Structure 1
Amino acid sequence: MPNAPLSPAAVVAAAARLADAAGYDAVTVSAVARELGVRPASMYSHVRDRDALLAGVHRLALGELAERIADQVAGRSGHDALAGLALAHRRYAADRPGAWTALQRPAADETAASPEAARVASLLAAVIRGYAVPDGATVDAVRLVGATIAGFVALTDAQAFAHRPDAVDGSWAAAVDALDRALASWPQEGPAA
Protein backbone atom coordinates (compact mmCIF):
# COMPACT_ATOMS: atom_id res chain seq x y z
CA MET A 1 0.00 0.00 0.00
CA PRO A 2 1.59 3.33 -1.00
CA ASN A 3 2.16 5.94 1.66
CA ALA A 4 -0.30 8.80 1.89
CA PRO A 5 1.06 12.08 0.59
CA LEU A 6 3.00 13.99 3.21
CA SER A 7 1.91 17.38 4.43
CA PRO A 8 3.11 19.52 7.33
CA ALA A 9 -0.03 18.55 9.28
CA ALA A 10 0.51 14.82 8.64
CA VAL A 11 4.14 15.08 9.74
CA VAL A 12 3.21 16.90 12.96
CA ALA A 13 0.40 14.43 13.69
CA ALA A 14 2.85 11.53 13.27
CA ALA A 15 5.32 13.30 15.58
CA ALA A 16 2.60 13.73 18.23
CA ARG A 17 1.65 10.04 17.98
CA LEU A 18 5.31 9.09 18.34
CA ALA A 19 5.65 11.38 21.38
CA ASP A 20 2.65 9.68 22.98
CA ALA A 21 3.95 6.18 22.24
CA ALA A 22 7.70 6.54 22.82
CA GLY A 23 8.06 9.77 24.78
CA TYR A 24 8.57 13.39 23.84
CA ASP A 25 12.35 13.07 23.69
CA ALA A 26 12.07 10.28 21.10
CA VAL A 27 10.70 12.73 18.54
CA THR A 28 13.31 13.46 15.88
CA VAL A 29 12.97 14.10 12.17
CA SER A 30 14.53 10.69 11.46
CA ALA A 31 12.24 8.87 13.91
CA VAL A 32 9.13 10.48 12.41
CA ALA A 33 10.38 9.63 8.91
CA ARG A 34 10.68 5.97 9.99
CA GLU A 35 7.14 6.10 11.40
CA LEU A 36 5.88 7.45 8.10
CA GLY A 37 7.95 5.03 6.01
CA VAL A 38 9.85 7.77 4.18
CA ARG A 39 13.43 8.93 3.98
CA PRO A 40 14.44 11.68 6.40
CA ALA A 41 15.46 13.92 3.51
CA SER A 42 11.87 13.97 2.23
CA MET A 43 10.71 15.38 5.57
CA TYR A 44 12.55 18.66 5.16
CA SER A 45 10.14 19.94 2.54
CA HIS A 46 7.46 19.75 5.26
CA VAL A 47 9.34 20.64 8.44
CA ARG A 48 12.46 22.79 8.83
CA ASP A 49 14.13 20.87 11.66
CA ARG A 50 13.49 19.14 14.99
CA ASP A 51 12.68 22.42 16.75
CA ALA A 52 10.01 23.20 14.15
CA LEU A 53 8.66 19.67 14.47
CA LEU A 54 8.37 19.98 18.26
CA ALA A 55 6.81 23.44 17.91
CA GLY A 56 4.24 21.84 15.63
CA VAL A 57 3.46 19.21 18.26
CA HIS A 58 3.09 21.99 20.85
CA ARG A 59 0.67 23.89 18.64
CA LEU A 60 -1.32 20.75 17.83
CA ALA A 61 -1.55 19.97 21.55
CA LEU A 62 -2.80 23.49 22.28
CA GLY A 63 -5.53 23.09 19.68
CA GLU A 64 -6.60 19.71 21.02
CA LEU A 65 -6.55 20.92 24.62
CA ALA A 66 -8.61 23.99 23.69
CA GLU A 67 -11.31 21.74 22.22
CA ARG A 68 -11.43 19.67 25.40
CA ILE A 69 -11.55 22.72 27.64
CA ALA A 70 -14.33 24.27 25.56
CA ASP A 71 -16.38 21.08 25.81
CA GLN A 72 -15.89 20.88 29.59
CA VAL A 73 -16.62 24.53 30.47
CA ALA A 74 -19.43 25.30 28.02
CA GLY A 75 -22.44 26.64 29.90
CA ARG A 76 -20.68 26.44 33.27
CA SER A 77 -19.23 29.00 35.64
CA GLY A 78 -17.51 29.17 39.00
CA HIS A 79 -16.60 25.85 40.59
CA ASP A 80 -18.22 23.80 37.82
CA ALA A 81 -16.22 25.57 35.09
CA LEU A 82 -13.03 25.30 37.12
CA ALA A 83 -13.60 21.57 37.68
CA GLY A 84 -14.26 21.13 33.96
CA LEU A 85 -11.12 23.05 33.06
CA ALA A 86 -9.03 20.94 35.43
CA LEU A 87 -10.59 17.70 34.20
CA ALA A 88 -9.89 18.61 30.58
CA HIS A 89 -6.21 19.08 31.42
CA ARG A 90 -5.98 15.91 33.50
CA ARG A 91 -7.66 13.74 30.87
CA TYR A 92 -5.55 15.24 28.09
CA ALA A 93 -2.39 14.45 30.05
CA ALA A 94 -3.55 10.84 30.47
CA ASP A 95 -4.72 10.39 26.88
CA ARG A 96 -1.88 12.21 25.11
CA PRO A 97 1.21 12.00 27.36
CA GLY A 98 3.71 13.07 24.71
CA ALA A 99 1.58 15.98 23.54
CA TRP A 100 1.03 16.94 27.19
CA THR A 101 4.79 17.02 27.68
CA ALA A 102 5.03 19.44 24.75
CA LEU A 103 2.65 21.75 26.63
CA GLN A 104 5.01 21.73 29.62
CA ARG A 105 7.93 23.05 27.53
CA PRO A 106 8.61 26.69 26.66
CA ALA A 107 6.65 27.72 23.59
CA ALA A 108 8.41 29.09 20.54
CA ASP A 109 7.45 32.71 19.86
CA GLU A 110 5.36 31.65 16.87
CA THR A 111 3.53 29.05 18.96
CA ALA A 112 2.90 31.51 21.80
CA ALA A 113 1.36 33.92 19.28
CA SER A 114 -0.75 31.23 17.56
CA PRO A 115 -4.55 31.13 17.44
CA GLU A 116 -4.41 27.85 19.36
CA ALA A 117 -2.52 29.46 22.25
CA ALA A 118 -4.87 32.44 22.18
CA ARG A 119 -7.89 30.15 22.42
CA VAL A 120 -6.51 28.27 25.43
CA ALA A 121 -5.65 31.60 27.10
CA SER A 122 -9.11 33.03 26.44
CA LEU A 123 -10.81 29.92 27.82
CA LEU A 124 -8.66 30.06 30.97
CA ALA A 125 -9.40 33.76 31.39
CA ALA A 126 -13.13 33.12 30.91
CA VAL A 127 -13.10 30.62 33.78
CA ILE A 128 -11.25 33.13 35.98
CA ARG A 129 -13.80 35.82 35.08
CA GLY A 130 -16.41 33.62 36.77
CA TYR A 131 -14.82 34.72 40.05
CA ALA A 132 -14.33 38.17 41.58
CA VAL A 133 -10.64 38.24 40.62
CA PRO A 134 -9.62 41.80 39.69
CA ASP A 135 -8.60 42.26 36.06
CA GLY A 136 -5.05 43.11 37.09
CA ALA A 137 -4.72 39.77 38.89
CA THR A 138 -6.00 37.52 36.08
CA VAL A 139 -2.49 36.46 35.03
CA ASP A 140 -1.62 35.55 38.62
CA ALA A 141 -4.81 33.53 38.99
CA VAL A 142 -4.26 31.74 35.69
CA ARG A 143 -0.72 30.88 36.76
CA LEU A 144 -1.95 29.54 40.10
CA VAL A 145 -4.52 27.31 38.41
CA GLY A 146 -2.09 26.14 35.73
CA ALA A 147 0.70 25.41 38.19
CA THR A 148 -1.63 23.45 40.47
CA ILE A 149 -2.99 21.32 37.64
CA ALA A 150 0.41 20.72 36.01
CA GLY A 151 2.05 19.99 39.34
CA PHE A 152 -0.61 17.51 40.39
CA VAL A 153 -0.44 15.74 37.02
CA ALA A 154 3.37 15.62 37.10
CA LEU A 155 3.46 14.22 40.63
CA THR A 156 0.82 11.63 39.76
CA ASP A 157 2.75 10.58 36.64
CA ALA A 158 5.96 10.32 38.68
CA GLN A 159 4.15 7.96 41.10
CA ALA A 160 4.90 10.43 43.91
CA PHE A 161 1.56 9.63 45.54
CA ALA A 162 1.86 5.85 45.17
CA HIS A 163 3.14 5.30 48.70
CA ARG A 164 -0.20 6.33 50.20
CA PRO A 165 -3.27 4.09 50.14
CA ASP A 166 -5.60 7.10 49.81
CA ALA A 167 -7.29 7.54 46.43
CA VAL A 168 -5.63 10.15 44.26
CA ASP A 169 -9.04 11.22 42.92
CA GLY A 170 -10.01 12.45 46.39
CA SER A 171 -6.88 14.60 46.53
CA TRP A 172 -7.63 15.88 43.02
CA ALA A 173 -11.12 16.96 44.10
CA ALA A 174 -9.68 18.61 47.21
CA ALA A 175 -7.16 20.51 45.07
CA VAL A 176 -9.91 21.79 42.77
CA ASP A 177 -11.98 22.80 45.80
CA ALA A 178 -8.97 24.64 47.26
CA LEU A 179 -8.44 26.49 43.97
CA ASP A 180 -12.12 27.42 43.96
CA ARG A 181 -11.83 28.87 47.48
CA ALA A 182 -8.63 30.74 46.56
CA LEU A 183 -10.23 32.29 43.49
CA ALA A 184 -13.48 33.11 45.32
CA SER A 185 -11.57 34.94 48.08
CA TRP A 186 -8.97 36.66 45.90
CA PRO A 187 -7.85 39.99 47.40
CA GLN A 188 -9.54 42.92 45.75
CA GLU A 189 -6.53 45.21 45.98
CA GLY A 190 -2.94 44.74 44.95
CA PRO A 191 -0.20 43.49 47.27
CA ALA A 192 1.23 45.93 49.78
CA ALA A 193 4.37 47.69 48.61
Structure 2
Amino acid sequence: MTDHRLARGAATRRRLLDAAVACLAELGWSGSTVSVVAERAGVSRGALQHHYPTREDLFTSAVEHVAERQSAAVRSLAGADVACVVRAIVDLYTGPVFRAALHLWVAATTEPRLRPRVVQLEARIGREAHRMAVELLGADESVPGVREVVQGLLDMARGLGLASLLTPDAGRRERVVERWAGIVGGALGGAG
Protein backbone atom coordinates (compact mmCIF):
# COMPACT_ATOMS: atom_id res chain seq x y z
CA MET A 1 0.00 0.00 0.00
CA THR A 2 1.39 3.41 -0.89
CA ASP A 3 1.97 6.19 1.61
CA HIS A 4 -0.76 8.21 -0.10
CA ARG A 5 -3.35 5.45 0.38
CA LEU A 6 -2.29 4.98 4.01
CA ALA A 7 -2.62 8.70 4.68
CA ARG A 8 -6.00 8.82 2.95
CA GLY A 9 -7.22 5.83 4.97
CA ALA A 10 -6.04 7.44 8.23
CA ALA A 11 -7.79 10.71 7.31
CA THR A 12 -11.00 8.80 6.52
CA ARG A 13 -10.85 6.99 9.88
CA ARG A 14 -10.34 10.29 11.74
CA ARG A 15 -13.35 11.85 9.95
CA LEU A 16 -15.45 8.79 10.78
CA LEU A 17 -14.43 8.79 14.43
CA ASP A 18 -15.04 12.52 14.85
CA ALA A 19 -18.41 12.23 13.09
CA ALA A 20 -19.40 9.26 15.28
CA VAL A 21 -18.65 11.16 18.50
CA ALA A 22 -20.50 14.24 17.25
CA CYS A 23 -23.52 12.12 16.29
CA LEU A 24 -23.59 10.32 19.64
CA ALA A 25 -23.29 13.60 21.54
CA GLU A 26 -26.07 15.26 19.52
CA LEU A 27 -28.40 12.41 18.58
CA GLY A 28 -27.81 9.70 21.18
CA TRP A 29 -27.45 5.99 20.44
CA SER A 30 -30.77 5.49 18.69
CA GLY A 31 -30.24 8.45 16.34
CA SER A 32 -26.63 7.64 15.56
CA THR A 33 -26.90 5.09 12.81
CA VAL A 34 -24.06 3.96 10.59
CA SER A 35 -25.72 5.76 7.67
CA VAL A 36 -25.95 9.05 9.58
CA VAL A 37 -22.28 8.86 10.57
CA ALA A 38 -21.18 7.99 7.03
CA GLU A 39 -23.14 10.93 5.62
CA ARG A 40 -21.73 13.34 8.21
CA ALA A 41 -18.19 12.12 7.51
CA GLY A 42 -18.72 12.43 3.76
CA VAL A 43 -18.04 8.78 2.98
CA SER A 44 -20.12 5.90 1.70
CA ARG A 45 -21.62 3.39 4.09
CA GLY A 46 -19.40 0.74 2.47
CA ALA A 47 -16.27 2.80 3.16
CA LEU A 48 -17.34 3.16 6.78
CA GLN A 49 -17.90 -0.57 7.13
CA HIS A 50 -14.54 -1.27 5.50
CA HIS A 51 -12.87 0.50 8.44
CA TYR A 52 -15.41 -0.42 11.15
CA PRO A 53 -17.35 -3.61 10.33
CA THR A 54 -19.91 -3.20 13.14
CA ARG A 55 -21.71 -0.33 14.79
CA GLU A 56 -20.11 -1.35 18.08
CA ASP A 57 -16.63 -1.18 16.49
CA LEU A 58 -17.32 2.30 15.18
CA PHE A 59 -18.69 3.90 18.33
CA THR A 60 -16.37 2.33 20.89
CA SER A 61 -13.38 3.18 18.67
CA ALA A 62 -14.67 6.72 18.25
CA VAL A 63 -15.07 7.43 21.96
CA GLU A 64 -11.69 5.86 22.72
CA HIS A 65 -9.90 7.77 19.95
CA VAL A 66 -11.30 11.18 20.83
CA ALA A 67 -10.82 10.60 24.58
CA GLU A 68 -7.16 9.74 23.95
CA ARG A 69 -6.73 12.88 21.87
CA GLN A 70 -8.28 15.01 24.62
CA SER A 71 -6.15 13.34 27.29
CA ALA A 72 -3.02 14.14 25.29
CA ALA A 73 -4.09 17.79 25.17
CA VAL A 74 -4.70 17.86 28.92
CA ARG A 75 -1.33 16.19 29.57
CA SER A 76 0.31 19.17 27.90
CA LEU A 77 -0.62 21.09 31.05
CA ALA A 78 2.25 19.45 32.97
CA GLY A 79 3.55 22.00 35.45
CA ALA A 80 0.31 24.04 35.51
CA ASP A 81 -1.20 25.13 38.80
CA VAL A 82 -3.89 23.10 40.57
CA ALA A 83 -6.73 25.38 39.47
CA CYS A 84 -5.77 24.99 35.81
CA VAL A 85 -5.56 21.19 36.13
CA VAL A 86 -8.90 20.94 37.95
CA ARG A 87 -10.55 23.14 35.30
CA ALA A 88 -9.10 21.02 32.47
CA ILE A 89 -10.31 17.79 34.09
CA VAL A 90 -13.79 19.23 34.55
CA ASP A 91 -13.76 20.33 30.90
CA LEU A 92 -13.11 16.70 29.89
CA TYR A 93 -16.30 15.65 31.67
CA THR A 94 -18.51 18.50 30.52
CA GLY A 95 -17.81 18.39 26.79
CA PRO A 96 -19.17 16.46 23.82
CA VAL A 97 -16.92 13.41 24.30
CA PHE A 98 -18.36 12.81 27.77
CA ARG A 99 -21.87 13.31 26.39
CA ALA A 100 -21.12 10.77 23.62
CA ALA A 101 -19.61 8.32 26.11
CA LEU A 102 -22.65 8.67 28.34
CA HIS A 103 -24.98 7.74 25.47
CA LEU A 104 -22.75 4.76 24.77
CA TRP A 105 -22.85 3.66 28.44
CA VAL A 106 -26.63 3.91 28.56
CA ALA A 107 -26.97 1.94 25.32
CA ALA A 108 -24.66 -0.73 26.74
CA THR A 109 -27.19 -1.45 29.48
CA THR A 110 -29.60 -2.90 26.90
CA GLU A 111 -27.27 -3.90 24.04
CA PRO A 112 -25.59 -7.22 24.91
CA ARG A 113 -22.99 -6.99 22.12
CA LEU A 114 -22.01 -3.49 23.20
CA ARG A 115 -21.87 -4.00 26.97
CA PRO A 116 -18.58 -5.92 27.36
CA ARG A 117 -16.79 -3.51 25.04
CA VAL A 118 -18.06 -0.44 26.88
CA VAL A 119 -17.24 -1.93 30.30
CA GLN A 120 -13.68 -2.59 29.12
CA LEU A 121 -13.39 0.85 27.50
CA GLU A 122 -14.72 2.66 30.57
CA ALA A 123 -12.29 0.82 32.85
CA ARG A 124 -9.35 1.76 30.61
CA ILE A 125 -10.42 5.40 30.28
CA GLY A 126 -11.10 5.62 34.03
CA ARG A 127 -7.63 4.27 34.89
CA GLU A 128 -6.03 6.66 32.41
CA ALA A 129 -7.95 9.66 33.78
CA HIS A 130 -6.85 8.79 37.33
CA ARG A 131 -3.23 8.29 36.28
CA MET A 132 -3.28 11.58 34.35
CA ALA A 133 -4.74 13.50 37.30
CA VAL A 134 -2.13 12.06 39.66
CA GLU A 135 0.69 13.09 37.31
CA LEU A 136 -0.62 16.57 36.59
CA LEU A 137 -1.33 17.31 40.25
CA GLY A 138 1.98 15.87 41.41
CA ALA A 139 -0.04 13.80 43.86
CA ASP A 140 1.79 11.30 46.07
CA GLU A 141 -0.69 8.45 46.50
CA SER A 142 1.47 6.85 49.19
CA VAL A 143 0.19 9.61 51.50
CA PRO A 144 -3.02 8.49 53.21
CA GLY A 145 -6.12 10.10 51.70
CA VAL A 146 -4.46 11.45 48.55
CA ARG A 147 -5.83 8.71 46.29
CA GLU A 148 -9.33 9.48 47.55
CA VAL A 149 -8.84 13.22 46.91
CA VAL A 150 -7.87 12.51 43.30
CA GLN A 151 -10.77 10.10 42.84
CA GLY A 152 -13.12 12.62 44.47
CA LEU A 153 -12.00 15.22 41.94
CA LEU A 154 -12.77 12.83 39.06
CA ASP A 155 -16.14 11.91 40.58
CA MET A 156 -16.99 15.60 41.09
CA ALA A 157 -16.05 16.36 37.47
CA ARG A 158 -18.24 13.49 36.24
CA GLY A 159 -21.11 14.76 38.40
CA LEU A 160 -20.78 18.25 36.93
CA GLY A 161 -20.83 16.65 33.48
CA LEU A 162 -24.05 14.84 34.28
CA ALA A 163 -25.64 17.95 35.78
CA SER A 164 -24.72 20.05 32.74
CA LEU A 165 -26.61 17.69 30.42
CA LEU A 166 -29.94 18.91 31.75
CA THR A 167 -29.20 22.33 33.19
CA PRO A 168 -26.07 23.98 31.87
CA ASP A 169 -24.97 26.56 34.43
CA ALA A 170 -21.46 27.79 33.70
CA GLY A 171 -21.51 30.24 36.61
CA ARG A 172 -22.33 27.59 39.19
CA ARG A 173 -19.86 25.19 37.64
CA GLU A 174 -17.08 27.79 37.78
CA ARG A 175 -17.75 28.41 41.49
CA VAL A 176 -17.65 24.66 42.18
CA VAL A 177 -14.41 24.28 40.20
CA GLU A 178 -12.78 27.16 42.10
CA ARG A 179 -13.78 25.63 45.43
CA TRP A 180 -12.59 22.15 44.42
CA ALA A 181 -9.26 23.56 43.23
CA GLY A 182 -8.81 24.99 46.72
CA ILE A 183 -9.80 21.70 48.35
CA VAL A 184 -7.48 19.66 46.12
CA GLY A 185 -4.59 22.11 46.53
CA GLY A 186 -5.02 22.09 50.32
CA ALA A 187 -5.30 18.32 50.53
CA LEU A 188 -2.17 17.86 48.42
CA GLY A 189 -0.26 20.42 50.49
CA GLY A 190 0.10 22.84 47.61
CA ALA A 191 1.58 20.19 45.29
CA GLY A 192 0.90 20.57 41.58
Question: Which TM-score tier does this pair reach, normalised by the shorter chain?
Answer: 0.5 to 0.7
Are the equivalent residues in 2 in contact too, given 1:55–1:111 (CA < 8 A)?
no
Unpaired runs of 5+ residues, structure 1, are: 186-193
Task: Name the residue aligned to 1:153.
Answer: 161
- Relative to the length of structure 2, the TM-score reads 0.65
Asked if 1:49 corresponds to 2:57, the answer is no
Call closer, same or farther: CA 1:109–1:13 in 2, change over 3 Å.
same
Are the equivalent residues in 2 in contact too, given 1:61–1:102 (CA < 8 A)?
no
Deviation at 1:141, TM superposition (A): 4.0
Task: Name the residue aligned to 2:16.
Answer: 11
Deviation at 1:47, TM superposition (A): 0.6
The partner residue of 1:127 within 132, 136, 149 is: 136
Asked if 1:75 corresponds to 2:75, the answer is no
- Relative to the length of structure 1, the TM-score reads 0.65
Bigger proportion of residues as helix:
2
What letter matches 1:122 in structure 2?
Answer: R
What letter matches 1:159 in structure 2?
Answer: T
- Partner Cα separation in structure 1 for residue 57 and residue 147 of structure 2: 28
What letter matches 1:179 in structure 2?
Answer: V
Q: Deviations over 1:28-80 (max 9, x none)?
A: 212112223444344211112121111112212222221231233x223xxx2
Are the equivalent residues in 1 in contact too, given 2:20–2:62 (CA < 8 A)?
yes
Deviation at 1:126, TM superposition (A): 1.1
- Partner Cα separation in structure 1 for residue 181 and residue 27 of structure 2: 28
Higher relative contact order (CA 8 A, sep 6+): 2
Unpaired runs of 5+ residues, structure 2, are: 1-7, 106-117
Moved over 6 A (4+): 135-138
Are the equivalent residues in 2 in contact too, given 1:63–1:117 (CA < 8 A)?
no
Counting matched residue pairs gives: 168
What letter matches 2:91 in structure 1?
Answer: R
Q: Deviations over 1:130-186 (max 9, x none)?
A: 245327866544421210111123223421769xxx75422321122223334449x
